[in-house]
Structure formats: structure tokens, C-alpha cells
């Protein structure tokens, strides 16, 4: 590294340019690290499985155009009629559709003391075929007994206290071994519930909620004059099933069927904002890298402009093209490296502030490593044409008067 | 008009003190044509820069039209350069993106002339160098000799006390050089003093006086009027 | 003289087009990024009722479950419901202590005109409220007016339409006196409001603050009389074991589902009202309700927006990042300017030699920075408009109002570009004026 000292001296002699570049890279790197981390977190959430058989599901909202005393009977009839359709595999009524943005959540506590708070979870209620309709996996314990499940229009004081939770929720309840959550009791609004089974995955209804892997399923469906249905179509007959179900229900006078959407549509709509954020964040990441490359490129051109003669002299004195290129590239790398180091420091400070102010997660260390390497590679690409140009300076320029 | 008393210049770098110009006296009167000769590195350029108020001198006093320039502020010196001195450079130093008119007008922009007066002066100056018809051309459309004529017009436009020419024919072939020299002589005969640095003795002899600088020492050279 | 310098700046700009375009482009991108985020933040943070934001307030009563708070606020404190139970809302209405009361909920139902058949009815969300909704929140009428006090009390089937629905159903004609059918109930039109979109839509929770306003308005009492109930779309929270299957159930339950705003003629009355709320709570405690310790709230529009986080965290974060991005861009531009001005060393030397002062040079290059900033600002403004319209498509849950620049913001965009480019040009300009005169004259 015998070039090292002369490089540092050269840099020190005209500091402004390199300093500006260092500041620019530091600022860009600070944003880059945080933004790219946010982008990849979003991507992670976007690509996460909902736990549902998304391809064959659709949902809709419909009413029961009868007096409330007849709600239960008509709902059972509707469910049976829908299931009988040729294009339909199974159907369930539910309080809310995953990722639709509308639903209920509960705070789960370890005891009836609110201070024993564990976590919040999205709450679902379904009818008997809920699990098979949505295509969920129960990986521990069991589904509800027939006797536990009920449709009711009454108050809920004597409802079954059995619940299922998702694995992510079980991990919060029993951090050491989630499988031991089965059989445990949790408290919601001061009432005790017993976990009878664990569902592998069932995403909560809010796409942007970071705890949306945590869900609870209750057995008691509290009826009203309007209900949400989720239907599993026979494979390849999704569109037909949607038409059939609507036609079937619309035969009843006073009936409406609305918000009839495939689950894919619900998911896309729910994730639209997050997807947009991801696109923006990814775009910003690319823009930052390009800005950095531009800065490195500009700086290299500037020094080349100032140093043509000096380089010619070096060449005349016997420096090979390789020497010149090495000098140039090393010089850029030192500046970029300094920028990255300063940027890492700023990024860490910024990240701490972001955690504090915006409740962001801490950026893992790999991001600094890969980010630093990435910026250095991008800078190399930016500097090589100029370095090559510099190396091709004719030695004759040294002897020419300016 | 130009009076130097004990002017000297030294550089101090690290620990070494270099005497670029030894103390000297010099007087140039209105209407004189003075050539400054000497080998490279002798201090010619330093002398010229001092005479043109581009560089500080370390000792002595320099009077321009009886005004002491010692210790003047940058702003005052700029004004003096603008009003009293016309510069002509070896490489013409025209601004490529400006046309001839704008190039010649440039020094006038730094003085309080009305637009009308500026135009008059520019056209006059271009007239004097024989390029009035090409005021909308750009420098790169002209030959070297023509470019130097434009530079001379630029120097003349502000009606300076004297012209300061630094190797004005250095970048020109001999035919063009002759043209420039005869133009300079004409201008001199119309009353403008000229101080010209050159290393061409033939050209130097066309001046009325020759000052030689050698190793920082300035001396007057007597010449026989052969012409 | 300014003219002259801008002419020089333009010539100089053209002389090195690549460098100049890089400078302009970099500024434009930085400015666009900054102004897009600032626009969104600014529009989100705007005071939607500037002349009376302190006199209009939302009532939050702590009627929640003694076992556990409804949720926790960002700072970790226990929260109280921001909606009321039916019985509390009615009690406040009956007490009539504020100058105007605006309770509201929503329901969804099928809407059609008398001439349309059942099949062509459309499902719509209906705002169910009091006659004061429009005057308190500032919705302007184009036809007719709000309904009468009598309509509120008796629950008459009267309705106010949005301009858009009026255009759809009545081709924009004055439809006052006509009727439309909600589900199977005949409603008489009393008024049509103009296009109206407060930004933020402050009277609902943050989740809905940037969504379009609802197209229909009816008296709350008429919803109850006609038994409209949309449990699967309205916002409501329940605790306890009360039945909630019908509207009647919900009305007699401890569920909170009614938002309740009040307007006062003077701010002083607001404090009296807060005292009244405390008295009411105290009275209710005697019958075993309101057993939680957290105090009630009477939040002005500005307080409520602050509490709800009208400016989303993401948009605040976006502003911070975009400003940092702008800083990085400006560093880059500064570096390019150094290059640019360095390349003009010969010209500076010449100009100085023929009599330009340092100030003259500074002014000349200052004009050049301003030109770069101006072009960057104009292009940045165009980019920002493109970006904002792209955002409108990308975030359909945000009303386009949030993504729209007003005139002030447009001027600020260009001013910011010019200002920052001049600011970041100062050092390169200073350096350019400091060049050694004599060394620059050998070549140009």
C-alpha cells in the first residue's frame, strides 16, 4: 500500500471536493440503510402467506330480510343452500375477512389482572366449516366440538370459553415452547378462555398491523341481520361459484349481496398501500445508489481535470497505466470508505432516533455490511471509466506548456 | 505615467526565500512603446503582473498616473485595471461562448457606461482593429491573428492609459505576427503607451525602449535606431 | 446588469450542457422528493376549520369496562373510547348544554330513485346525524338546506344528497322535494350539498381521515325508526355480555358507536361544558356506570387531530428522509458547481484582469447558481406534480386533496430550489473569486 500516504496527502491538499463527497455519501448511506431495511421489511410482509387457500376463496356480505327471531334459522338455511351448489366446496359465515381492514381485536392477558398483558390479537369467529373453507392447518390440539359452536342473537355470558390461537400468538403465550400453549388459559376483558388448538397461520384483518400474525378464533357467532360469508369454490370454478351464490341468494325478496370479491382482490386492495410504499422505498434505494455513483463520478472527473498534467508527468516518469488506475481507484475507495463509515455512524444514530420517534425496528448489522459493500462496488463502477481515461493520459502532456 | 521606485518581489516558501525581482526603478512616459525582454524564468512575468496590478509587490512604490497603488484594496485595484490598463495576452483569452461584440464589451461592463456609450466604444475599437464588420462572429470563427486583433480591441475599448501585452505574437505565425506588430505600432503612434513582454529581439527593436530582465535584475538597454 | 449576468449564466449553461443538466436534474429530483413529502405532510396537517377549530370539540366519555381499558395510547397510558353509547349520546342531547350537537354514525343500504327498479339499486354508506352536521363541519348547500329540528326529533325520513349522487340520480337538477328509496323506505330530499372534502376529514378517526365524504345524510332518529343497522361495516366497540344482534340491542348496550361533536359560541362555554360532562359522569357513577379512573375528554379539532395522528408517522418520516435526500443532492450539486467554476478559472482571471471586482464575479456566478436553481425548481415542480399524481393512484385510500399542491406550495417549491442552490453555491462562488489572478491568464 505504498500509494496510501501520497493519496492521503493529495486528498488533504484539496479537501473540499472529497469532503463534500464524504458528506454526500454519509447522508445517502444513512437514508439508504434505513430505507432499504424498511423496503425489505415491507417486502417480507407483502410476500408473507396469509395461511388461507387464497386461490379458491371469495367473500361477500349479505342480509337476513326477516325478523330477528328467524335469523338463526335463515342463516343455517343460507349456508346449507350455498354448500349445495355444484361449484361450491364449502362455506362459512365469519365476523370479518382476513386483510379486509375491518374487524375486532382483543388484548390477551395471562390473568385477570390487566397488568399481565401478553399481546393483542385479531379475533375471528366462524361456523363449523371455517377451518376447511379457509384451508387452515391445525398443527396442535383440535377444532371446536359441535357442542361448543353456536349461532346466537342473545348476550354472550354463557358462551363456550374454548379458543384456538395462531402459532405466532402461541409463541407469545408460551415463549419457551409454543406447543405447550394448548390447554393454557388466557384472559380477555377479564374473562378466562382455554386454548384448545393452534392454527399454523391465519393473518389478522389489518394488512399494515405488524402483529397481524397473531389471531384468535372463537366458537360463538353472534348473529345480526347482516353477515359476512367466505366461500371456498371447487377448484377452477371460482368465478362460476360467485355467480351461482349471488343468483341463489337474490331469489329471496329483500336480500342483498354486496362486497362480493375474490380473496385475491381483498388481499391486493389491502396491501395496495404497503405495495406502493415498497415501490417508493425501493425506488429511493436505487436513486440513492445512483446519486452516490454520480457523486463519485463527478468528483473523479473533477480531479482528473485538475491533475491531467500531474498524471502526464507521472506517466513520463515511468508510472504504468496500472499504477495510475490503482492510484485513482484507491483514492476513490478511501473517500467512499470514509463516507460509508461516517454514514454507518449516522445511520445508527438515525436508527436509534427512528426507533424512538417512529417505532421502527433496529436495522440488523448485515445491512451495514452489505450496504457498505454495495456502495463501494457502485462507486468502483462509477470511477473506473474516469480512472481508465486518466491512465490513458499521454505522457507528452507533461512537456507541453499549458 | 508609470513610475516605479524600489519595487521588488520575493516569495517565501517554507524556509527558502526567493528573490524574484531585485529592487528597481522605472519610469514610462505617456506615448512610449517599451519592450521587456529576457530569458524564461528571469522574472519577466512577475514584472508584468506587478505592472498590471495582478500581483502584489513586496517592497517599493508603484505610481500609476501619479496615484500610489501601494496597499490599495482589491476593489480599487480592479477599478484601476479597468480604467488605466488594457491587457493583451499571448493566447488571446477570448471567451468562446461570447461573440466579438460581447467580448470587446466585457471590460466596459465593469464601468458605469450607458448602453449607448458601450456600443459606441465597442464599435470604435473594432473599427480600429479592422473587424467592425464581424462583430456578431464568435472567436472560433476567426484566425489567430484576427482573434488577437479582437483582444486588442477589447484592451482599447476602455481607453486605457497603456496597453500591457504579454508575448502578443507568441501563438501566431510570422505573417500574422507582423500584422499585429504593425497594429500595435499604429496604436502607439496614436498616443497609447504600450508595455510589451517578448523574447523576440526583432520585435523588441520595433519598440522605442528595451528593458531587459535577467535573473531578477532589471536594466535599461540602449538600442540603435536602425529602422 | 442583472440581464447581462443571466445572459452569461445561460451561455455558460449551454457551454457545458452535460454538467449543467446533471446539476439541474439533481436539484430537480431532490426538490421533487422533498416537496412531494412536504405537500402530503402539509395537506394532512392543515387545520380544516381554521376560524373555529377551538370552538368545535369532540366528546369522549369514559363509559368503558372497569376490568380493562379499551386500548392504550401511544405513550402507553390507558385510553378511553372516542365514541359514546346510545344512552349517553341521548343524555347529552337532551341536556342541550352546547350550542350545536352533532352525533353521528353510519349505515349502509341500497339506494334508488322511485323510478328505478329494485335491481338497479346501489349499496351506499349513509351518514346518520343531526341537522347541525353541515353548519358545524362547513358543508355548503347548492340546493335546499338541512332538515328541521322537528325532523331530528321525530325522525322524519328526510335526506341530504351529495352533488355527485344528485348528478347521478337526477342529472344535477334541483331535486329538493323529490324522493329516493333507502332499502324500502321512502326519503324526501331536503337539500343537496356541493362537492365537499375537508382535508383532513377531521371528524372521524385517523383511519378514515383521507377517505371521501359519505354521499347521503339522514337524521339519526330516522335511522332508528327505520331500523337501519350495519354491524359488519360500522365502527363500534363492545364489552360485557349484552346482546348486540339488532339495533335495539346495541342501543341499550354498553357498546360505543356514536361519535359526538359539539360547537360553542365562545371558548369559555367549552370549559363549562367540560364541567357538565364531569357532573354527568358523577351522576352515572351513582348507578354503577363510569367506573374507570381515566378522565373524560373534550377535544378541540386541533387536539383531536394531534391525538389521532392526522399526519401519519410514515409521512413525517418521509419528510425527514426526503430532506436528507435533498441534502445529499445539494452536496452533489455543490461538487458539480465546484467543477464548473473551476473550469471557468481562466474566464475569472480574465475578467478580474480587465477590472471585475470579486463582487462582480460573485454576482455573475450567483446568477448562474440562481439559474440552475430556477430550472431545477421548475423541473422539480413538474416532477413533483407527476409524483403526486402517481401517489394518488398508489394510495387509493387517500383522497386526492392530500396529494395536491396549492399555489403557496408551488411557489415554495421553486423558491426552495433557488434558495438552496444559491446557498450551496456560496462556497464554490467564494472559491471562484479567490483564484490566483496571475496564474489563470496563460490560457483560457
**CB-closest option in C4, C353, C444 to B54:** C353
B102-135 burial code (b ≥16 CB/10 A, e <16): bbbbbbbbbeebeeeebeebbbebbebbebbebb
**Residue A159, pLDDT above cutoff 90:** no
Residue A1: exposure state from Cβ atoms within 10 A (0-12, 13-18, ≥19): exposed
Kindly report the average pLDDT of chain C as a whole number: 91
| Record: contact C441-B89, CB cut-off 8 A | yes
**What are the pLDDT digits (tens) for A142-154?**
999 988 888 888 7
Angstrom distances, CA of residue B170 to CA of B197, C120, C325: 10, 93, 51
Cis peptide before C20 (omega within 30 of 0): no
Residue of C nearest to B79 (CA): C355
Asked if C354's CB is within 8 angstroms of B107's CB, the reply is: yes
Contact A276 C395 (CB under 8 A): yes
Q: Structure pTM? A: 0.83
Residue-wise burial string across A208-220, b where 16 or more C-beta atoms lie within 10 A, e elsewhere: ebebbbbbbbbbb
- Average predicted confidence (pLDDT) for chain B: 88
Minimal Cβ distance to A28: which of C22, C313, C328: C328
With a CB cutoff of 8 Å and minimum separation 6, the contacts of C282 are none
Measured distance CA(B74)–CA(C363) in Å, rounded: 16
pLDDT band at C70 (very low <50, low <70, confident <90, very high): confident
The confidence band for A318, taking pLDDT boundaries of 50, 70 and 90, is: confident
For C202, what's the count of Cα atoms within 13 Å in the CB-facing half-sphere? 28
Specify the pLDDT at position B223: 60
Instruction: Calculate the alpha carbon distances from B220 to A24, B29, B40, B133, B161 in Å.
Output: 58, 15, 18, 41, 22
| Location of C-alpha cell 346449507 | A80
Residue C298 has pLDDT above 50, yes or no: yes
Query: Which residue does chain C place closest to A257, by CA atoms?
Result: C123
d(CA C22, CA C10): 15
pLDDT of residue C1: 59
| Mean per-residue pLDDT, C141-148 | 96
Q: Over the stretch B64-116, which tens digit does the pLDDT of each residue have?
A: 988 899 888 888 989 999 999 999 988 888 988 899 999 999 999 898 899 99
Residues 6+ apart with CB under 8 A from A295: A21, A24, A25, A28, C331, C332, C335
With CB atoms and an 8 Å threshold, state whether A156 touches C231.
Answer: no
pLDDT the model gives residue A157? 63
For A147, list phi and psi in degrees, rounded to 5: -75, -25
Least confident stretch, A57-66, C249-258, C348-357, C391-400: C391-400
Asked if C339 and A28 come within 8 Å (Cβ–Cβ), the reply is no
Handedness of CA C429, C434, C439, C442 (dihedral sign): positive
Partner residues linked to C383 by β-bridges: none
**B161 touches C: beta carbon within 8 Å:** no
Residue in B with minimal Cα distance to C434: B74
pLDDT at B20: 85
End-to-end CA distance of chain B: 26
A365-391 and A321-358 helices, crossing angle to 10°: 150
DSSP per residue, C322-391: HHHHHHHHHHHHHHHHHHHHHHTHHHHHHHHHTT--HHHHHHHHHHHHHHHHHHHHHHHHHHHHHHHHHH
Nearest CA-CA partner of C40 in A270, A273, A290: A273
Task: Return the partners of chain A (3 or more C-beta pairs < 8 Å).
Answer: C
Count of CB pairs separated by less than 8 Å, B with C? 77
Report the C-alpha gap between C77 and C246 in whole angstroms: 33
Cβ C354–B106 below 8 Å, yes or no?
yes
**Whether C354 and B97 lie within 8 Å, measured CB to CB:** no
Q: Compute the CA torsion angle C87, C88, C90, C93 (nearest 10 deg).
A: 170
CA pair distance A60, A242, nearest whole angstrom:
9
Residue A382 Cα distances to A288, A296, A370, C137, C164, angstroms: 14, 6, 18, 56, 55
Inter-chain residue contact C339 with A302, CB threshold 8 Å: yes
Does B96 lie at the interface with C, CB-CB under 8 angstroms?
yes
Q: Which of C241, C321, C394 sits opposite A157 (nearest CB)?
A: C241
CA distance A66 to chain C (A): 12
Q: Which residue of C has its CA nearest to A157?
A: C241
Q: Is A154–C243 a contact, with Cβ atoms under 8 angstroms apart?
A: yes
Nearest to A196 by CA among A226, A217, A225, A223: A217
Closest CA to C126 of C223, C257, C258: C223
pLDDT value of residue A399: 60
B8 touches B24 (CB < 8 A): yes
B160 touches chain C (CB under 8 A): no
Q: What is the pLDDT of residue C427?
A: 92
Nearest-neighbour CA in chain B from C345: distance (Å) = 12
Cell numbers that stand for B177 in this block: 505576427
- Indicate which of C68, C252, C388 best probes the interface with A, i.e. most A CBs within 10 Å of its own CB: C68
Using the beta-carbon criterion (under 8 Å), do B97 and C15 form an inter-chain contact?
Answer: yes
Report CB contact under 8 Å: C71, A68: no
Tell me how close the Cα of C391 comes to any Cα of chain B, in angstroms: 43
Q: Is the pLDDT of residue C147 over 90?
A: yes
Q: What is the pLDDT along chain B (227 residues), one digit of tens a residue?
A: 889 999 998 888 777 788 888 999 999 999 999 999 988 778 888 888 899 888 888 889 999 988 899 888 888 989 999 999 999 988 888 988 899 999 999 999 898 899 999 999 999 999 999 998 899 999 999 998 999 999 999 999 989 988 999 889 888 898 999 999 999 999 999 889 999 988 888 888 888 899 999 888 888 876 655 44
- Distance of CA A361 to CAs A42, A372, B50, Å? 12, 20, 66
Greater confidence, C99 or C46?
C99
A21 chain-C contacts, CB cut-off 8 A: 331, 335
Q: What are phi and psi of A220, to 5 degrees?
A: -100, 115
Q: What is the structure's pLDDT at A2?
A: 62
Strands A162-166 vs A215-218: parallel, antiparallel or unpaired: antiparallel
pLDDT at position C20:
92
- All residues at 6 or more sequence positions from C24 whose CB lies less than 8 Å from its CB, including other chains: C372, C375, C376, C379
- Alpha-carbon span A312 to A393, nearest angstrom: 6
What band does A41 get if pLDDT is binned at 50, 70 and 90?
confident
The pLDDT of A209-236, averaged and rounded, is 91
pLDDT band with cut points at 50, 70 and 90 for residue C444: very low
Report, as an integer, the average pLDDT of C59-83: 87
The alpha carbon of residue B200 is apart from the nearest alpha carbon of chain C, in Å, by: 18
Q: Which residues of B touch C355 (CB under 8 A)?
A: 78-79, 81-83, 107, 110-111, 158
**pLDDT, tens only, C350-396:** 899 888 999 999 999 999 999 999 999 999 999 999 999 998 888 88
pLDDT in tens, C192-205: 999 999 888 889 88
Q: Which residues of C touch A68 (CB under 8 A)?
A: 245-246
Partner residue opposite A358 with nearest CB, options C123, C317, C427: C317
Q: Quick check: C442 and B94 CB within 8 A?
A: no
Between residues 179 and 208 of chain B, which touch chain C (CB distance below 8 Å)? none
Q: What would the CATH number be for the domain defined by B30-47+84-221? A: 3.40.50.300
Q: How is residue A168 written as a grid cell? A: 405466532
Residues of C in contact with B165 (CB under 8 A): none
pLDDT band at A160 (very low <50, low <70, confident <90, very high): confident
- Pairing status of strand A185-188 against strand A57-63: unpaired
With 0-12 / 13-18 / 19 or more C-beta atoms within 10 angstroms meaning exposed / middle / buried, residue C29 is: buried
- Given a contact cutoff of 8 angstroms between Cβ atoms, the answer to whether A91 and A133 are in contact is yes
Residue C189, helix vs strand vs coil: strand
Taking the CA of residue B52 and the nearest CA in chain C, the distance in Å comes to 8
d(CA C14, CA B97): 9
Q: Domain extents for chain B? A: 30-47+84-221
- CA of C335 vs chain B CAs: smallest distance (Å): 23
Q: In 10 A of CB C154, how many CB atoms? A: 13
| pLDDT of amino acid B221 | 77
Given this model, what pLDDT does residue B123 score? 94
**Quick one: how many helices (H) and strands (E) in chain B?**
7, 10
Q: What is the pLDDT of residue A124?
A: 95
Question: CA of A368: how far to CAs of A31, A37, A381, B148, C281, in Å?
Answer: 12, 10, 20, 59, 55
B95 touches C: beta carbon within 8 Å:
yes
Minimum CA–CA partner of A103 in chain C: C232
- Whether C113 shows a pLDDT value over 90: the answer reads yes
Judged by CB atoms closer than 8 Å, whether chains meet at C123 and A256 is answered as yes
Interchain proximity C431–A224, CB inside 8 Å: no
DSSP code of C84?
B
Query: Is the Cβ of B167 closer than 8 Å to some Cβ of chain C?
Result: no
In this predicted structure, what is the pLDDT of residue C380?
96
For C137-295, list the strands marked E by DSSP.
141-144, 158-162, 179-182, 185-193, 216-219, 259-263
Instruction: Kindly report, residue by residue over A337-371, the tens digit of the pLDDT.
Output: 999 999 999 988 888 888 887 767 788 888 999 99
Q: Which residues of B touch C6 (CB under 8 A)?
A: none
Q: For residue A109, give every residue at least 6 positions away whose Cβ sits within 8 Å of its Cβ, in sequence order, or none.
A: A116, A117, A118, A186, A187, A188, C68
Amino acid at each position: 500500500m505504498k500509494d496510501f500516504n501520497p493519496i492521503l496527502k493529495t486528498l488533504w491538499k484539496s479537501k473540499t471536493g472529497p469532503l463534500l463527497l464524504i458528506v454526500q455519501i454519509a447522508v445517502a448511506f444513512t437514508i439508504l440503510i434505513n430505507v432499504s431495511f424498511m423496503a425489505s421489511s415491507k417486502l417480507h410482509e407483502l410476500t408473507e402467506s396469509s395461511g388461507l387457500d387464497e386461490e379458491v376463496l371469495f367473500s361477500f356480505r349479505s342480509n337476513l330480510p326477516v325478523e330477528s327471531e328467524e335469523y338463526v334459522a335463515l342463516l343455517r338455511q343460507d349456508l346449507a343452500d350455498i354448500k349445495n351448489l355444484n361449484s361450491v366446496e364449502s362455506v362459512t359465515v365469519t365476523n370479518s375477512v382476513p386483510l379486509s381492514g375491518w374487524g375486532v381485536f382483543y388484548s390477551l392477558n395471562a390473568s385477570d389482572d390487566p397488568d399481565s398483558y401478553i399481546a393483542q390479537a385479531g379475533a375471528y369467529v366462524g361456523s363449523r366449516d371455517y377451518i376447511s373453507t379457509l384451508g387452515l392447518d391445525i398443527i396442535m390440539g383440535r377444532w371446536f366440538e359441535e357442542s361448543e359452536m353456536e349461532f346466537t342473537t342473545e348476550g354472550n355470558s354463557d358462551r363456550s370459553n374454548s379458543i384456538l390461537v395462531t402459532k405466532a400468538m402461541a409463541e407469545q403465550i408460551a415463549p419457551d415452547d409454543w406447543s405447550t400453549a394448548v390447554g393454557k388459559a388466557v384472559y380477555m376483558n377479564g374473562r378466562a378462555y382455554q386454548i384448545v388448538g393452534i392454527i399454523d397461520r391465519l393473518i389478522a384483518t389489518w394488512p399494515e398491523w405488524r402483529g397481524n400474525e397473531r389471531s384468535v378464533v372463537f366458537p360463538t357467532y353472534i348473529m345480526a341481520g347482516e353477515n359476512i360469508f367466505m366461500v371456498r369454490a371447487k377448484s377452477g370454478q371460482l368465478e362460476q361459484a360467485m355467480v351461482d351464490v349471488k343468483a341463489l341468494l337474490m331469489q329471496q325478496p329483500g336480500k342483498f349481496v354486496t362486497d362480493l370479491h375474490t380473496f385475491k382482490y381483498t388481499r391486493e386492495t389491502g396491501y395496495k398501500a404497503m405495495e406502493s410504499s415498497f415501490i417508493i422505498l425501493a425506488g429511493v434505494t436505487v436513486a440513492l445508489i445512483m446519486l452516490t455513483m454520480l457523486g463519485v463520478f463527478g468528483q473523479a472527473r473533477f480531479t482528473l481535470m485538475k491533475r491531467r498534467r500531474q498524471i502526464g508527468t507521472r506517466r513520463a516518469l515511468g508510472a504504468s497505466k496500472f499504477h495510475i488506475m490503482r492510484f485513482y481507484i484507491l483514492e476513490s475507495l478511501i473517500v467512499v470508505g470514509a463516507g460509508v463509515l461516517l454514514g454507518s455512524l449516522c445511520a445508527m444514530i438515525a436508527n436509534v432516533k427512528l426507533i424512538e420517534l417512529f417505532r421502527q425496528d433496529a436495522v440488523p448489522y448485515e445491512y451495514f455490511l452489505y450496504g457498505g459493500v454495495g456502495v463501494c462496488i457502485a462507486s468502483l463502477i462509477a470511477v473506473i471509466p474516469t480512472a481508465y481515461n486518466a491512465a490513458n493520459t499521454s505522457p507528452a502532456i507533461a512537456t507541453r506548456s499549458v | 505615467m508609470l513610475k516605479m521606485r524600489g519595487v521588488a518581489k520575493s516569495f517565501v516558501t517554507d524556509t527558502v526565500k526567493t528573490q524574484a525581482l531585485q529592487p528597481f526603478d522605472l519610469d514610462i512616459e505617456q506615448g512610449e512603446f517599451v519592450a521587456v525582454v529576457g530569458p524564461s524564468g528571469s522574472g519577466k512575468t512577475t514584472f508584468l503582473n506587478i505592472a498590471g496590478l495582478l500581483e502584489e509587490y513586496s517592497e517599493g512604490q508603484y505610481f500609476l498616473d501619479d496615484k500610489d497603488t501601494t496597499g490599495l484594496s482589491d476593489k480599487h485595484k480592479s477599478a484601476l485595471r479597468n480604467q488605466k490598463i488594457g491587457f493583451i495576452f499571448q493566447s488571446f483569452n477570448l471567451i468562446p461562448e461570447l461573440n466579438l461584440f460581447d467580448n470587446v464589451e466585457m471590460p466596459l461592463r465593469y464601468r458605469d457606461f450607458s448602453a449607448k456609450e458601450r456600443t459606441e466604444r465597442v464599435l470604435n475599437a473594432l473599427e480600429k482593429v479592422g473587424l467592425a464588420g464581424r462583430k456578431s462572429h464568435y472567436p472560433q470563427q476567426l484566425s489567430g491573428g484576427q482573434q488577437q486583433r479582437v483582444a486588442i480591441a477589447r484592451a482599447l475599448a476602455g481607453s486605457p492609459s497603456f496597453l500591457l501585452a504579454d508575448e502578443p505574437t507568441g501563438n501566431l505565425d510570422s505573417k500574422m505576427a507582423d500584422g499585429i506588430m504593425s497594429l500595435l505600432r499604429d496604436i502607439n503612434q496614436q498616443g497609447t503607451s504600450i508595455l510589451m513582454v517578448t523574447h523576440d529581439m526583432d520585435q523588441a527593436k520595433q519598440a522605442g525602449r528595451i528593458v531587459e530582465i535577467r535573473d531578477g535584475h532589471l536594466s535599461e538597454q540602449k538600442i540603435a535606431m536602425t529602422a | 446588469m442583472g440581464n447581462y449576468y443571466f445572459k452569461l449564466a445561460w451561455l455558460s449553461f449551454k457551454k457545458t450542457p452535460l454538467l449543467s443538466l446533471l446539476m439541474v436534474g439533481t436539484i430537480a429530483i431532490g426538490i421533487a422528493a422533498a416537496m412531494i413529502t412536504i405537500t402530503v405532510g402539509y395537506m394532512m396537517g392543515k387545520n380544516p376549520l381554521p376560524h373555529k377549530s377551538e370552538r368545535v370539540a369532540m366528546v369522549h366519555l369514559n363509559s368503558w369496562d372497569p376490568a380493562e381499558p379499551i386500548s392504550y395510547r401511544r405513550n402507553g397510558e390507558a385510553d378511553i373510547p372516542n365514541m359514546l353509547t346510545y344512552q349517553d349520546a341521548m343524555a347529552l342531547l337532551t341536556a342541550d348544554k352546547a350550542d350545536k350537537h352533532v352525533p353521528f354514525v353510519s349505515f349502509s343500504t341500497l339506494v334508488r330513485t322511485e323510478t328505478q327498479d329494485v335491481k338497479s339499486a346501489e349499496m351506499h354508506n349513509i351518514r346518520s346525524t343531526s341537522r347541525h352536521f353541515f353548519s358545524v363541519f362547513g358543508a355548503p348547500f347548492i340546493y335546499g338546506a338541512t332538515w328541521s329540528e322537528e325532523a331530528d326529533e321525530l325522525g322524519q325520513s328526510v335526506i341530504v344528497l351529495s352533488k355527485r349522487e344528485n348528478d347521478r340520480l337526477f342529472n344535477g337538477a334541483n331535486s329538493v322535494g323529490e324522493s329516493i328509496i333507502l332499502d324500502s323506505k321512502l326519503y324526501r330530499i331536503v337539500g343537496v350539498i356541493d362537492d365537499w372534502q375537508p382535508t383532513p376529514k377531521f371528524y372521524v378517526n385517523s383511519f378514515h381521515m383521507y377517505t371521501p365524504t359519505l354521499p347521503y345524510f339522514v337524521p339519526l332518529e330516522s335511522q332508528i325508526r327505520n331500523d337501519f343497522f350495519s354491524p359488519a361495516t360500522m365502527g363500534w366497540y363492545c364489552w360485557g355480555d349484552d346482546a348486540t344482534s339488532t339495533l335495539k340491542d346495541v342501543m341499550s348496550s354498553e357498546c360505543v358507536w356514536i361519535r359526538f361533536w359539539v360547537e360553542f359560541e365562545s371558548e369559555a362555554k367549552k370549559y363549562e361544558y367540560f364541567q357538565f360532562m364531569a357532573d354527568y359522569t358523577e351522576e352515572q357513577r351513582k348507578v354503577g356506570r363510569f367506573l374507570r379512573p381515566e378522565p373524560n375528554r373534550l377535544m378541540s379539532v386541533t387536539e383531536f387531530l394531534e391525538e389521532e395522528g392526522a399526519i401519519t408517522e410514515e409521512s413525517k418520516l418521509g419528510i425527514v428522509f426526503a430532506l436528507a435526500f435533498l441534502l445529499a443532492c445539494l452536496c452533489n450539486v455543490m461538487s458539480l458547481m465546484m467543477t464548473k467554476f473551476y473550469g471557468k478559472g481562466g474566464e475569472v482571471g480574465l475578467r478580474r484582469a480587465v477590472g471585475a471586482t470579486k463582487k462582480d464575479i460573485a454576482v455573475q456566478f450567483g446568477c448562474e447558481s440562481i439559474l440552475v436553481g430556477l430550472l431545477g425548481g421548475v423541473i422539480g415542480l413538474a416532477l413533483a406534480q407527476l409524483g403526486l399524481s402517481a401517489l394518488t393512484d398508489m394510495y387509493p385510500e387517500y383522497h386526492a386533496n392530500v396529494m395536491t399542491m396549492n399555489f403557496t406550495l408551488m411557489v415554495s417549491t421553486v423558491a426552495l430550489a433557488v434558495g438552496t442552490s444559491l446557498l450551496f453555491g456560496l462556497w464554490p462562488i467564494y472559491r471562484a473569486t479567490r483564484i490566483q489572478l496571475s496564474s489563470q491568464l496563460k490560457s483560457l
